[in-house]
Structure 1
Amino acid sequence: MSLNRRNFIGAGVAAALPGSLIAQVVGADALPATALPLPAVPGLPKPSLLTDARPVASSLGLDPRIWNWRSGADRNGPMPANYYEASLSEWPAFGPLPGDQSCDVVVIGGGLLGASAALHLAEAGLDVIVLEKDHIGSGASGRNGGQLTPGLARWEAGTMAANLPPDEARRLWRFASVEAMELIDSLSARYDFQCDRKRGHITAALHPGHMGALVEGADARRQLGDRAVRVIGPHEVQEYVRSQIYHGATLDSSGGQLQPLALLRGLVYGFVQQGGRVYDGTPVQEIEEGAGGTTVITERGTIKARRGVVLAVHSSTFRFLPEGSTTLPFVTYVAVTPKLPMPISELLPGDLPVYDTQFQIDYYRAVRDNRLLFGGQGTGNSWSPRDVNNYLLERIRTVFPQWEQPALEYSWGGISDVTINGATDSRKSAGKIPVYIVHGWSGHGVAQTVRIGKAISDDLTGRNDDFAMLTQIEHGRIPLGNFLAPLVIPVAKGMFGIKAALQPSDMVSF
């Protein structure tokens, strides 16, 4: 028996709030679209990955609930950069909105979703402005674990196959897997930027009973026409992960890893080459829909959108939804070690990123200069750096006991958001000037954010109905969800922590 990740929040909310809604999806055939870049715009450098990270201060504004930590950094000094920012060349701020303007489309939020939507809209010939309240990369898009996994947030192949007609399930799965991964590759090639993209992914079973759920997932993917995953036993796992705690795994050749901040900057770089305008340090106060157009209001001026608005602000979407939120925010944590005292291949000979199947999942991967990135946990309130570091170091010792004295050089927190049913919440307003809204990534969505950004562009320009397919998924409201997270997340974790202890063969992951 297994309880997949999409069920976790539903049961937690059910313990604190009444009711939830189940999803259905309908859609039609997609029509591919391509575009060629314009000549480079002077002034914005192409993002460049460094050989290794530098001990520098962060230039990115952060949500006050999250933090960056670096070993040896002055506690009374400026906030240190996280590993991703520290391992990239300097990048300029764009500056705030200079005053009232107009354009075809306003994109609110400079993360992966907003950058992808803006880039594809600009490639289609539209005049686009991106507004970011902090800086490009300040939010989850520049702070996540960098793992590329298929699926629509926590909707995996089995969920799609169980809830949708076969053709629709196959279409949605391909959209959220093959198409998402291929789009990243095509964009990085088109704009010639690096993001340390690697292919392949391991999901490792922490208990023998978890293998049944992994086999079911692999079989569901084959049912949907995906043969990129295979099941491997405990001995073959050793060819990829030198840990004795796993009882088998699935090996996914379509997943992978990358440096997420490098990907984000690459997309923004491409957008600027297409003539796009970016303003950071410009929080949006209100969106007013009227007969003559939609106006985006900031304290520095207004922007009249002639054709559409894209709301890509992730865990802050609730501020713009008068009917109530459909997500709960939660905080996750990532750390990076110093250079290892042994070759990283002694721990990860296959050089593939790993997820495991325990209740509070571990995920880890090799990064540049012989370092290990290791992440995990999901909390309703932000933990302190000391608590996070102690937790992650204990998990590293559990996974790799042969490494006698592991250490951390960087750690940080980030905010994600989870829906009741585990699928991404995609919406489009009914007005003449539509507002597109997407949130609820549930900790899984690096590749899918980029693909959905393209789907928004294709919908607005009439190329296909991919986005309409996504909007058919129904989502239950969570009144005051942003304020209930500190209660609901611990309740849900407590419930399923007990279940996992009593029935360890049942796969319950968060």
Structure 2
Amino acid sequence: MLKINKPIILEDVEYRPSIHNKLDKEWSWLNPKCADIEQAANYYESSLNEWHCFDALSTDQECDVVVIGGGLLGASTALHLSELGIDTILVEKNRIGSAASGRNGGQLTPGLARWEAAEMLDHMSVEDAKKLWRFTANEAMDLIDEISDKYGLALDRKQGHITAAVHEGHLIALTQGADARKFLGEDHTKIVGQHEVHNYVNSEAYHGGLIDYLGGQIHPLALTRGLIYGFNQNGGQVFEQTEVIELKTQADGIYVKTAQGVIKARKSVVLAVHHASFKLLESHNHTTIPLFTYVCTTSPLEIDLKELIPADYAVYDTQFALDFYRGVSKNRLLFGGEGTGSCWNEHKAYQYLLGRIHHVFPQLKSVDLDFVWSGETDLTYNGATDCRKFGEKYPIYAVQGWSGHGVAQTVRIGKAIAHDFIGVSHDYEMLTKIPHKDILFGRELAPFAIPLAKSAYEINAFFNPAKLISF
């Protein structure tokens, strides 16, 4: 059996070509001052050692479970299935972590996408809300640390997260959110005002914030590759450059058809591919709408990062189209934000992110961006992640709708799928009971619907600036 190396985080970046296939809507830009590379790796890929490329499927295969998608959900599900001794094959149409799982902000936040404690209490009984919050908060964070310890992974894992209030009225909503968390039995928060927030973020842009000691940050591509490393150590098989084009359930299993061959899943299939589920499951409702976000890392800053983020916590703010940022290697600032229905080009994203950095930290007189990249996430109507289970004899699992808040929870849901498959837990069943509305023509209308939603918000914010609404 092929054995691969652990992902290793470098002291600083190595400018090199990406091993990921180039996609129009998930691009990566490298400053020509750094190197002249046509298809350059983004910051995350550049800050890791060169890693294994798995072969494409070349012959028909057979196993118990096929996992489709090599992001965090697919990797976590495959890992946990392999730990239970279940014969599992994972296929990925590009490379491991090439999509959102290896392109996000790396922030660890409690909750189920945009469902936080207060939203859970609004929609569920107190006992059910307690269980769901514990699942998406304490259990999700603890699981990442357990996996890291078990497989000896270095993931640049740091504790502490800040939600920074851009309006003093937003502190009311943040305080209510902290109160809801305490009511559900989790007390890892602290509200700070306009002066004390400077102990955490040295910016005049904020009126205070919520300090979250449970949340934190991580290297998301290292985490994704680390999960695959564990899966490989347990005997799991991975095929990259292998796109699934059809699923067909027959009397003896589910046949997973790819361009190169067919894999027979004797017992189950897991769709860890976001909106691609629509193409593979004709009966699946269209419950998500795409959203494009943009991330950059600066060149090493002229000011020590501790002068900007003294506690070294990850930060995101309370704008509708929020800013998020954190310090990374060699005194660089990783900064991201915005949310658009159609994908911006490199120049527009560069100018936007550089402008936001200057807005938050005007004390940075000279800033240059070494890396800029785009990423695609998906939103649900109610803000909660959409978890589905189809079929009786041969179940098919499908999850989507992360809304940009799902690194830790994605890993935890992967474990829940594995435990549901062997019938030892009802955690995944709990997630499937959350109702979701179909978004008619949502994916087609996103380029028009999202700008309209922003305009409506801006009008509402003008008359009611203290109301907190965010992506």
Which category describes the TM-score, using the shorter chain as reference length?
over 0.9
Contact 1:332 1:379 in 2 (8 A): yes
- Note the alpha carbon deviations across 1:424-479, whole angstroms, 9 max, x for none: 11011123010000001011100000000000000001111100000001111123
* 1:175 equivalent in structure 2: 135
- Note the alpha carbon deviations across 1:315-361, whole angstroms, 9 max, x for none: 32221232431100110010000011121101111100111111211
* 2:176 equivalent in structure 1: 216
Matches of 1:479 and 1:295 in 2, distance apart? 30
Give the counterpart letter for 2:317 in structure 1: D
Give the counterpart letter for 1:327 in structure 2: T
2:300 to 339, 343, 364: 339
Contact 1:232 1:249 in 2 (8 A): yes
Give the counterpart letter for 1:419 in structure 2: T
User: TM-score of the superposition, structure 1-length normalised?
Assistant: 0.90
* 1:250 equivalent in structure 2: 210
* 1:135 equivalent in structure 2: 95
- Note the alpha carbon deviations across 1:44-97, whole angstroms, 9 max, x for none: 111110000111111111432121011117999531100000000001210101
Q: Say which is worse superposed, 316-325 or 188-197, in terms of deviation.
A: 316-325
2:114 to 154, 168, 192: 154
* 1:86 equivalent in structure 2: 46
1:477 to 420, 431, 438: 438
Give the counterpart letter for 2:85 in structure 1: G
Contact 1:58 1:80 in 2 (8 A): yes
CA shift at 1:501, angstroms?
2.9
Give the counterpart letter for 2:190 in structure 1: R
Partner SS state of residue 63, structure 1: coil
* 2:32 equivalent in structure 1: 72
* 2:280 equivalent in structure 1: 320
Judged with a 3 Å threshold, the aligned counterparts in structure 2 of structure 1 residues 441 and 100 are, in CA distance, closer, same or farther, namely same
* 2:369 equivalent in structure 1: 408
- Note the alpha carbon deviations across 1:257-278, whole angstroms, 9 max, x for none: 0000000000000000000000
- Note the alpha carbon deviations across 1:13-46, whole angstroms, 9 max, x for none: xxxxxxxxxxxxxxxxxxxxxxxxxxxx664111
- Note the alpha carbon deviations across 1:173-193, whole angstroms, 9 max, x for none: 000000000000000110001
Matches of 1:437 and 1:75 in 2, distance apart? 40
* 1:373 equivalent in structure 2: 334
CA shift at 1:105, angstroms?
0.3
Partner SS state of residue 369, structure 1: helix
Partner SS state of residue 234, structure 1: coil
1:206 aligns with 2:166: yes
Matches of 1:106 and 1:497 in 2, distance apart? 45
Judged with a 3 Å threshold, the aligned counterparts in structure 2 of structure 1 residues 101 and 300 are, in CA distance, closer, same or farther, namely same
Matches of 2:268 and 2:277 in 1, distance apart? 17
Contact 2:22 2:39 in 1 (8 A): no
Matches of 1:345 and 1:413 in 2, distance apart? 27
Contact 2:30 2:37 in 1 (8 A): no
Matches of 1:107 and 1:321 in 2, distance apart? 15
* 2:234 equivalent in structure 1: 274
* 2:198 equivalent in structure 1: 238
* 1:499 equivalent in structure 2: 460
Q: How does 1:344-355 map to 2 (within 5 A)?
A: 344-355=305-316
Give the counterpart letter for 1:330 in structure 2: L
Judged with a 3 Å threshold, the aligned counterparts in structure 2 of structure 1 residues 481 and 319 are, in CA distance, closer, same or farther, namely farther
Contact 1:73 1:80 in 2 (8 A): no
Matches of 1:348 and 1:77 in 2, distance apart? 32
* 2:388 equivalent in structure 1: 427
Higher relative contact order (CA 8 A, sep 6+): 1
Contact 2:15 2:35 in 1 (8 A): no
2:398 to 437, 441, 444: 437
Give the counterpart letter for 1:112 in structure 2: L
CA shift at 1:306, angstroms?
1.0
Give the counterpart letter for 1:405 in structure 2: S
Q: How does 1:285-296 map to 2 (within 5 A)?
A: 285-296=245-256
Matches of 1:488 and 1:318 in 2, distance apart? 20
Matches of 2:68 and 2:339 in 1, distance apart? 26
Q: Say which is worse superposed, 104-113 or 482-491, in terms of deviation.
A: 482-491
Matches of 1:321 and 1:473 in 2, distance apart? 20
- Structure 1 segments unaligned to the other structure (5+ residues): 1-40
RMSD: 1.3
CA shift at 1:253, angstroms?
0.5
* 2:345 equivalent in structure 1: 384
CA shift at 1:491, angstroms?
1.4
User: TM-score of the superposition, structure 2-length normalised?
Assistant: 0.98
Matches of 2:36 and 2:317 in 1, distance apart? 37
Q: Give the % identical residues.
A: 52
1:457 aligns with 2:418: yes
1:397 aligns with 2:362: no
Contact 1:108 1:132 in 2 (8 A): yes
Partner SS state of residue 372, structure 1: strand
Partner SS state of residue 330, structure 2: coil
Contact 1:55 1:80 in 2 (8 A): yes
Matches of 1:504 and 1:360 in 2, distance apart? 14
1:329 aligns with 2:290: yes
1:196 to 147, 156, 165: 156
- Note the alpha carbon deviations across 1:208-245, whole angstroms, 9 max, x for none: 11111111111111111111111111221111111112
1:362 aligns with 2:317: no
CA shift at 1:486, angstroms?
1.1
Matches of 2:198 and 2:12 in 1, distance apart? 28
